Structure 1
Amino acid sequence: MSKENICIIYGGKSAEHEVSILTAQNVINAVDLSKYCVDIIYITNDGEWIKGEHSIENHIEDVEQLRLKTNELTPISKLLESSINGQSYDAVFPLLHGPNGEDGTIQGLFEVLDIPYVGNGVLAASCSMDKLVMKHLFAHRGLPQLPYVSFLKSEYEKYKHNIQELIQNKLDYPVFVKPANLGSSVGISKCTNKEELISGIEEAFKFDRKLVIEQGVEAREIEVAVLGNDYPETTLPGELVKDVQFYDYKSKYKDGRVQLQIPADIDEETATTLRNMAVEAFKATDCSGLVRADFFLTEDNTIYINETNAMPGFTQYSMYPQLWENMNLSYTELITKLIELAIERFNNKKDIKYKID
């Protein structure tokens, strides 16, 4: 049986560049090389696209091997035109986090070039990336959320005092200050007073022009993995068990101070509700491929949806693959399934008419 050609794209012009490289190493080492010929494209921090000179044949032992270099840059469309063996790509697998990677921009490029790609489409990626737009869609779907305030940098510069008063009148401390368009906890601060709030806002504006300030709540953090296209499937919920008050970028990726409890210790009725809500969130943002839905669960079993992540952490030990591992779908099998879903979605779109006879 002939192998299919895929291209793994990673790196990116984003604050989550390093996370993307680590993810790429994990996926490359797990992909089924008996089924796929694998090319790689590295996007540098400056936005340059560099294609590997050879298809992947062995494990990547050192992440530094993935920081490709070249003296000759090739147009992006040419890099994606065909694989190293001369055949067109059956699918590309973008392992990009943050702006220009999971916000719909690179997905739009793949659409224009008519290339099948793993993960969410343009609309789903962009509205899942923008926390404010996502909240509007959740509200329309009737999903319960905690109170929040959102504003632009230009508005804050002009009405700083009024916005600070609005936050303190509408929300109770602690609050979480978040850039609207970043993931992996980059630029997020937990604030317990006005001084910390002002500092958190200033920090978050380094990463985005729009912020979301969310009400904090004493609750467990529960996550559900969703997989599929039109008929998505879900996992049993898992829980983040932390020995830190706030699950920031450092504790998430560097300190290892977060443990995953899979499945979460919750009753069957609550688990079913969470799984159903995860599907509702998936549909609310018109997702396909993969999504991780994140929830808060209070002591009295009240559920609030926090967010969906259209390109969740995807190292072998991240919550999303581990949730599927618990459902007897291995990391390698999960990667294969995602590629198959990408090709399925691409083939289904061929039935859409683009011109009038």
Structure 2
Amino acid sequence: MTKKINVGVVFGGKSTEYEVSLQSAKNILETLDSETYQVHLFAFSNEGQLLNLKDSTTLLTEEIQPNESLSGVSLSHLIDTKVALDQQEIDVFFPILHGNLGEDGSLQGFFRMLNKPFVGSSVLSSALCMDKDFSKQIFNYNEFKTAKSLTVRLEDNREALVEKVVATLGFPVFIKPANQGSSIGVSRAKDPISFEVGIAEGFKFDNKLIIEEEIVGKEVECAVLGNEKPIASGLGSIATDNSKFYTYEEKYLDESGAILEIPAKISDSLTKEIQKQALAAYQLMECKGLARVDFFLTADNQIYLNEINTLPGFTNISMYPQLWKNAGLAYSELIETLLTLAIEEFQREEKLQRKVNLE
């Protein structure tokens, strides 16, 4: 009898995207073939505690409310946590923690400490892609076209900020927390009053904000899959009924709140160019396993690179799995492919390290 592959699905987390993570984990759990995989669940509470296996399982199967009578192990007990994870004999981890502490390199560093394979990008790649300020600097340096922007930190003097925005960007602008995903804390400001409100809202979620010019056009997304030789999916585009941007609720909670156009109604030549840029950005940031690369496409066919999401959502209405489904790769096959890629990348790195040690 073939030994089952032990998969550690890690979800939850001290993030504003906690509920999204739970839904993604449920979908993955329901999909993995029990004949091939033995799944072990590891949930982090919304306060940052690592829950035991029983409570992690209960959190998904019984859908109890977050933080309701859950016994956890404080993250400060790192050694105890490491032992607990190793005892499960995990072959590969599948992290599905969105946002802070899940896709910013923190958890990836933890897996490196455990010397275990994991789905997704490295510590550095995850951290850089998560930070909209640093990633934009890298994109601009490498001549990708991006929206003009300003960066403002909590400690900065903001007395002349409105005048600076008017002079360099003009209204309307978008205000984005630099290290949040899923449109958390994002607002559109059309004048100085709404700008001040947006700044205050943004600083509730991050100490650094990106203020971007408004790009009028389609939001276009491309799913990328692979390690050294990644492939790009077809494109999807997003239309929303009631807002000027794709909100958290429309992404994950309201199936009628946004219209996903898959495939996007974009010419073949533009599709190929966006796919080419998506692959180039993915490889520039040294992403591994998976990422969703987001663009804006204007009416005069100008392509603006927006951001790279290294751990995109895996809910039933998430763009990443939907794009691959449209390409003929079913959800279950996609999950299995990602687990295989994680193990292959781990083995490649181990081989390279052995070679360095021998030399």
Question: What TM-score range do you get, normalising by the shorter chain?
Answer: over 0.9
Measured in 2, the distance between the counterparts of 1:141 and 1:78 equals: 43
List, as ranges, runs of 4+ consecutive aligned residues in structure 1 with deviation greater than 6 Å. Answer: 65-68
Render the CA deviation track for 1:31-85: whole Å, top value 9, x for unaligned.
12221000001100111101324998x9x665339979654638220222132xx
Look up the SS of the partner of 2:308 in the other structure: strand
In the TM superposition, residue 230 of structure 1 has moved relative to its aligned partner by: 0.6
RMSD: 2.0
- Which residue pairs with 2:238 in the alignment? 240
Figure out how many residues of one structure are paired with residues of the other and give that number.
348
1:180-259 alignment runs, 5 A limit: 180-245=178-243, 246-256=245-255, 257-259=257-259
1:76 equivalent to 2:75? Answer no
- Which residue pairs with 2:38 in the alignment? 37
Measured in 2, the distance between the counterparts of 1:96 and 1:327 equals: 25
Deviates more, 1:168-177 or 1:218-227: 168-177
Letter in 2 for 1:189: S
Measured in 2, the distance between the counterparts of 1:296 and 1:263 equals: 16
Look up the SS of the partner of 2:147 in the other structure: coil
- Which residue pairs with 1:94 in the alignment? 95
In the TM superposition, residue 316 of structure 1 has moved relative to its aligned partner by: 2.8
Measured in 1, the distance between the counterparts of 2:133 and 2:259 equals: 29
Render the CA deviation track for 1:222-258: whole Å, top value 9, x for unaligned.
1000000010001011111211222222232233301
- Provide structure 2 residue ranges, at least 5 long, that are not aligned to the other structure: none
1:226/1:206 CA distance change after superposition, 3 Å = same
Look up the SS of the partner of 1:184 in the other structure: coil
Cα pair 1:42 1:67 within 8 Å, conserved:
no
In the TM superposition, residue 146 of structure 1 has moved relative to its aligned partner by: 1.2
Look up the SS of the partner of 1:64 in the other structure: coil
- Provide structure 1 residue ranges, at least 5 long, that are not aligned to the other structure: none
Measured in 2, the distance between the counterparts of 1:7 and 1:333 equals: 18
1:332 equivalent to 2:338? Answer no
1:55/1:102 CA distance change after superposition, 3 Å = closer
- Which residue pairs with 1:261 in the alignment? 261
1:59-74 alignment runs, 5 A limit: 62-64=62-64, 70-71=70-71, 73=73
Cα pair 1:38 1:55 within 8 Å, conserved:
no
- Which residue pairs with 1:351 in the alignment? 351
Q: With structure 1 as the length reference, what TM-score do the two structures score?
A: 0.93
Q: With structure 2 as the length reference, what TM-score do the two structures score?
A: 0.92
Cα pair 2:13 2:97 within 8 Å, conserved:
yes
- Which residue pairs with 2:316 in the alignment? 316
Render the CA deviation track for 1:118-139: whole Å, top value 9, x for unaligned.
1111011000100011101111
Identity %: 38
Measured in 2, the distance between the counterparts of 1:109 and 1:149 equals: 33
1:120-131 alignment runs, 5 A limit: 120-131=121-132
Look up the SS of the partner of 1:125 in the other structure: helix
- Which residue pairs with 1:27 in the alignment? 28
